[in-house]
Amino acid sequence: MTKIPRSNTKSMLIDESRMHQVFPKLNEYQISLASRYGERRMMAAGEILYRQGDRHVDFYVVVSGEIEIERRSAIKSHILGVHGAGLFTGEIGTLAGRAAVATCKAIKDSEVIVIKEAALRTLIISEAELSETMMRAFILRRVAFIADEDSGGIILIGSRHSDGILRMREFLSRNGQPTAYFDIDLHEETADLMQRFNISVEDMPAVVTSHGVVLSKPTIRELADAIGLSPDKLDGKHFDLAVVGAGPAGLAAAVYGASEGLNVVVLDGKAAGGQAGTSSKIENYFGFPTGISGQALAGRGLSQARKFGAEVAVPVEAKSLNCDASKDFEIELDNGEKIHAASIVVSTGARYRKPDIPRLEHFEGRGIYYNASFMEANFCTSEKVVVVGGGNSAGQAAVFLASHAKHVHILVRAEGLAASMSHYLIQRIDAASNITLHTRTRIVELLGDGKLQQIRWQHRDDEPELAPVQHVFLFLGAEPNTEWLRDCVARDDKGFVLTGAQIPKQDWQLERPPYSLETSRPGIFAVGDVRSGSVKRVAAAVGEGASAVQSLHQFLAGV
């Protein structure tokens, strides 16, 4: 990995072999092609094309001259690079109209092609070869921003023992937001930053935006609004399709729906990827023989959905549904806004069940975790950890954590793993010298003050045993996220949504039979983990998301 010279970019860490992909130079034909979607304009030296934090910025192709790309945080500013003839601006957030990650300025009299946001989407869809070049560059540029600690952007100040800081770091990381994190317990410079921005311990966790605005203990939505990640106002907007939940099933529905011309919105309260997005490595997904992380897979799906024009709104949560059949469906959002949709795909998935252990919520984010990403793994380097659960997510977490932790203990109530976990994961666990499986074992007590310090676990009917474990990862069963649906659709006795032939006859009011994946309410479809009887695998979820679009086309056409 090298730092690219000023002719391309100054401080972004990029593999030399990929420089030509991150900063491709368009040839004369490609420049001519791009010009069909915009207009040529002269920019005087010193003229600002757009500023960091601006939303809905135009896309620029340099025909002649030079434009400079500058990125800043509240504590410093530096030049990322200079774009000369044939280079272009933008990254993946440009397609979505999100906040620009840098300031762009002409440093010489320059001629540029200016392409508006809507025209850029048309170009991306219409010109396959040029689109491939641009999309690859957009994605790799965002990856480089995230990987480079000197890229500026958001400053996050807090303590790793705070559940609030963990939620913020997880949200920013999963949404690809470049962030500099300073821990009051780990980094000497944190005290100087707190003094500089007048931040007290009571203010933490605190966020300092690139413009120097300090947010004390912000909610996730307040944080998203401040950094330009949240969507524009959605209140009163009408969509052909509203996808609720941005896991693999929801993103697949969005991709297929938007690519076929539907006006699509995707709502998710956290990030693209759902539960799968937290997986350190998925190795049994078709087409990825070496595996792929859940976040990388989600990022690709998100980019694909936005490529076709879907509005992926994060963090936006559906709070309730008005399913009056006499009009379009109305979804009330967590900020009080309401949107209308002709059809709905429910893909809200399932959440891990919380065991009945005293003080569990007290230690959430301070020793109790429901994800096992690199962030959580860094908390337990060279320490003992416990993974509770016998499904694939638990197995993936255990194998991943074994490369960071001193020892991983897997606790299951069953007699083994064969009934609930893929064979390849069981083989990995058996082969790992620092993983121990404890069958018919459960946690009965959590001990500690501000953070988890010890646990008591119990094997069979033996006496509980004290263990010096400070990190516990829970992957227990699943409960559907269906409260927001109220009584709009029929569900099974566990709360999962019934579809197709599963629907009781008395709950179906039309003469035609339900379409594939359609719920008891015509026009509402359910896919992925939230659907009763679904196969809890990423590939199955993606397939259901795609299939639902075919069915809802029939519904919208009145067939």
List pLDDT tens digits, range 356-397: 999 999 999 889 999 898 888 888 899 999 999 999 999 999
Q: Which two tokens stand for residue 373?
A: 């990403």
**CA dist 134 → 2, 17, 431 (Å):** 22, 17, 43
What is the spatial order of strands in the sheet that 39-43 belongs to?
39-43, 110-115, 59-64
pLDDT tens figures, 40-52 = 999 999 999 999 9
pLDDT tens figures, 465-493 = 999 999 999 999 788 999 999 899 999 99
Tell me if the domain spanning 238-351+479-557 has CATH number 3.50.50.60: yes
Ranges of CATH 3.50.50.60 domains, the chain: 238-351+479-557, 361-474
pLDDT at residue 82 greater than cutoff 80 = yes
Q: pLDDT at position 9, please?
A: 39
Using pLDDT thresholds of 50, 70 and 90, give the confidence band for residue 325.
Answer: low
Q: How far apart are CA 346 and CA 525, in angstroms?
A: 6
Ranges of CATH 2.60.120.10 domains, the chain: 2-147
Under CATH, which architecture does the 154-227 domain have?
3-Layer(aba) Sandwich (3.40)
pLDDT tens figures, 388-441 = 999 999 999 999 999 999 999 999 999 999 999 999 999 999 999 999 999 999
Q: pLDDT at position 337, please?
A: 97
Using pLDDT thresholds of 50, 70 and 90, give the confidence band for residue 151.
Answer: low
Ranges of CATH 3.40.30.10 domains, the chain: 154-227
Which superfamily does 2-147 belong to?
Answer: Jelly Rolls (2.60.120.10)
Under CATH, which architecture does the 361-474 domain have?
3-Layer(bba) Sandwich (3.50)
Q: pLDDT at position 179, please?
A: 87
Q: pLDDT at position 418, please?
A: 93
pLDDT tens figures, 232-264 = 999 999 999 999 999 999 999 999 999 999 999
Distance of CA 544 to the CA centre of its chain: 20
Cα first-last separation, the chain: 56
Q: How far apart are CA 220 and CA 169, in angstroms?
A: 10
